[in-house]
Amino acid sequence: MVKKFLSIGLSLLLASIVTACGDRTSQTNKNSNTLKLLYWQAPTILNPHLSTGFKDSEASRITLEPLASFNNDGELIPFLAAEIPSLENGGIAEDGKSVTWKLKQNVKWSDGKPFTAKDVIFTYNFVSNPQVASVSGGIYETVSSVEEIDDYTVKVNFKTVNPAWYLVFVGAEGMILPEHIYQNYNGANSREAPANLQPIGTGAYRVVEFKPGDTVIYEANPEFRQVEKLGFEKIELKGGGDATSAARAVLQTSDADFAYNLQVEANILQELAAKGKGKIVNNFGALMERLVINHTDPNKATADGERSSLQFPHPFFSDRKVRQALSFAMDRDTIAQQLYGLTGKATKNFLVAPQQYVSPNTSYEYNLNRAAQLLDEAGWQDTNGNGIRDKNGVEMSVLFQTSVNPLRQKTQAIIKQSLQSLGIEVELKSIDASVYFSSDPSSNDTVEHFYADLQMYTTGNTSPDPGTYMQFYLCESIPQKANSWQGSNRARYCNEKYDQLWQQSNEELDPNKRKQLFIEMNDLLVNEVVVIPLVHRADVAAFSNDITGYELTPWDMRTWDIMNWKRINN
């Protein structure tokens, strides 16, 4: 029985464009048996448990599968699971402390080896191993053990009652790894595994060539359980370029069949859509563009060279009044309306979906006079007449970083103008997305290292249950040298009250009480200005007119159902 969740108020807007009667040369020359995907943020690793970048999970999801995933209606859909656990079928324990998954039989990895319960157990051991430093590890902290009942049944035991049992082994963070391929890399050498670049999976297509930061070539997986139903013999995933050129390749020139994450200014996107070669698909899920505030000092280093260390609080962002001033200086409406148009809405909340968890208690205001007043009250004034506020010999100067993207650079410019009018000096930095979102512990330019004062990016909960997303700001989730820079609390904010609220939510079985705990956590983050929500973004993608069978869901990667994609008349 499929467990159906409450309606989550998401709208899937399909703007179907009438096919133009103009030049069809590019479409005619397209190989109908090859699906061309354009990802302007190029993947760099094909193990989703070792990267926070959606681009890497997108590419991995074509090859790897979870036990189940959520569709756009919030229903659990089985992948490697034979059925969805429920109270009725005995899969969910009545005490809420365990869940039993029955697995599909006769499933094979792309190298011909059988998929069994041992692979599920190994995946748990891998992602929960501190030496691996998996980015998915937080989801599995509720688990005490995973047992093999038989070759095709696993029992997940939780440390205590777990209302969100369906987060483990489900969706993008639940992709299963083959034990026989990774067993020698379950430790500090995890990033050295050849399968990170040449994965072995159970999914519809298998990797035949990967050039990190450039191209992934897939072919139909001959071991896939429904290989005869696949729509393509080959998939070409091309990375690089920018969002605008990616949109143009699908909507204007027909050089590609699909382009993802079209973070493109609204007027440009509308102009391209009018060419009539493809469809724009908007899906308002849980994505939220945010301004992350560093609560530590990126300009001081420990004896062993660690910057943004908990040893050194930020010289002015540690002050709540300064953070409040920063929030009043955010012109969210201009950013949303002028840059995003119909694909973005100004937001006041950290948690923006599903609708039942969205707080009604918060607000935002663009008020530079109030911002200036708060800075004055905090003692930050221009004492030397150079136009920059200072205090105790420290100048109010910030480094503001984000990924390379014209829309983000324009957002940076709007924010910089407001901050400089307040007497805050702003230096802008743009980092290539393949580096910024790589989670590479050796790179100083990742979102985890955060060697800047402010940074901006989009993320959100990847499940209808926001428990894992709200885990982002736990003290234990702070990335630092000691944990190989793995963790989602990049702001390095630590609040015991927040941790207690999250722990309560993690054990609360009453859905109404649990909802209120999530809202209280959201309100704490917003009112303390731990992070500044900017825009509730739609997931914007483009599909060629002749591609069918897809269903975007906010609770998994865009490629989650690629086994169903087909070309019309193919």
Same domain, 88 and 175: yes
Sheet containing strand 344-346, edge to edge, reads: 344-346, 531-537, 288-293, 454-459, 397-403, 425-431
Same domain, 90 and 51: yes
Q: Are 56 and 42 contacting, i.e. CB atoms less than 8 angstroms apart?
A: no
486 belongs to a structural domain = no
pLDDT at res. 287: 94
- Report how many domains make up the chain: 2
Same domain, 87 and 60: yes
Q: What is the CATH number of the domain that holds 434?
A: 3.10.105.10
Same domain, 163 and 184: yes
Contacts of 402 (CB under 8 A, 6+ apart): 408, 409, 411, 412, 429, 430, 431, 436, 455, 456, 457
500 belongs to a structural domain = no
Q: Are 134 and 186 contacting, i.e. CB atoms less than 8 angstroms apart?
A: no
Same domain, 277 and 293: no
299 belongs to a structural domain = yes
CA dist., res. 450 & res. 456, Å (int):
10
73 belongs to a structural domain = yes
pLDDT at res. 40: 87
* 522 token code pair: 């959201």
DSSP label at residue 133 = T
CA dist., res. 391 & res. 371, Å (int):
17
302 belongs to a structural domain = yes
Same domain, 348 and 386: yes
3-state helix, strand, coil in the chain (%, to 5): 30, 20, 50
pLDDT at res. 313: 96
491 belongs to a structural domain = no
Same domain, 254 and 355: no
Q: How far apart are the first and last CA of the chain?
A: 34
Q: What is the CATH number of the domain that holds 279?
A: 3.40.190.10
Same domain, 386 and 239: no
Q: Are 339 and 317 contacting, i.e. CB atoms less than 8 angstroms apart?
A: no
Q: Are 149 and 157 contacting, i.e. CB atoms less than 8 angstroms apart?
A: no
Please calculate the CA angle 308-313-319 and round it to the nearest 5 degrees. Answer: 130
What 3-state class would DSSP assign to 54?
Answer: helix
For the chain, 570 residues long, give each residue's pLDDT as a single digit of tens: 333 333 333 333 333 333 333 333 344 446 789 999 999 888 999 999 998 778 999 999 999 999 999 999 889 999 999 999 999 999 999 999 999 999 999 999 999 999 999 999 999 999 999 999 898 988 899 999 999 999 999 999 999 999 999 999 999 999 999 999 999 999 999 999 999 999 999 999 999 999 999 999 999 999 999 999 999 999 999 998 889 999 999 999 999 999 998 989 888 998 999 998 999 998 899 999 999 999 999 999 999 889 999 999 999 999 999 999 999 999 999 999 999 998 999 999 999 999 999 999 999 999 999 999 999 999 999 999 999 999 999 999 999 999 999 899 999 999 999 999 999 999 999 999 888 988 788 889 999 999 999 999 999 998 899 998 999 999 999 999 888 888 899 999 999 999 999 999 988 989 999 999 999 999 999 999 999 999 999 999 999 999 999 999 999 999 999 999 999 975
Selection from 235, 250, 277, 255 nearest residue 33 by Cα: 235
C-alpha R_g of the chain: 24
475 belongs to a structural domain = no
* 167 token code pair: 């987060």
Same domain, 323 and 248: no
pLDDT at res. 485: 86
Contacts 24+ apart (CB under 8 A), 439-442: 439/50, 439/51, 439/52, 439/53, 439/135, 439/485, 439/486, 440/44, 441/133, 441/484, 441/485, 441/486
256 belongs to a structural domain = yes
Same domain, 217 and 296: no
Selection from 181, 126, 118, 130 nearest residue 154 by Cα: 118
Q: Are 262 and 252 contacting, i.e. CB atoms less than 8 angstroms apart?
A: no
CA dist., res. 225 & res. 203, Å (int):
9
pLDDT at res. 30: 60
C-alpha separations of 327 from 271, 303, 313, 515 in Å:
33, 34, 20, 26
Same domain, 349 and 426: yes
Selection from 482, 283, 312 nearest residue 394 by Cα: 312
**What is the residue range of 131's domain?**
12-284+539-567
Same domain, 258 and 298: no
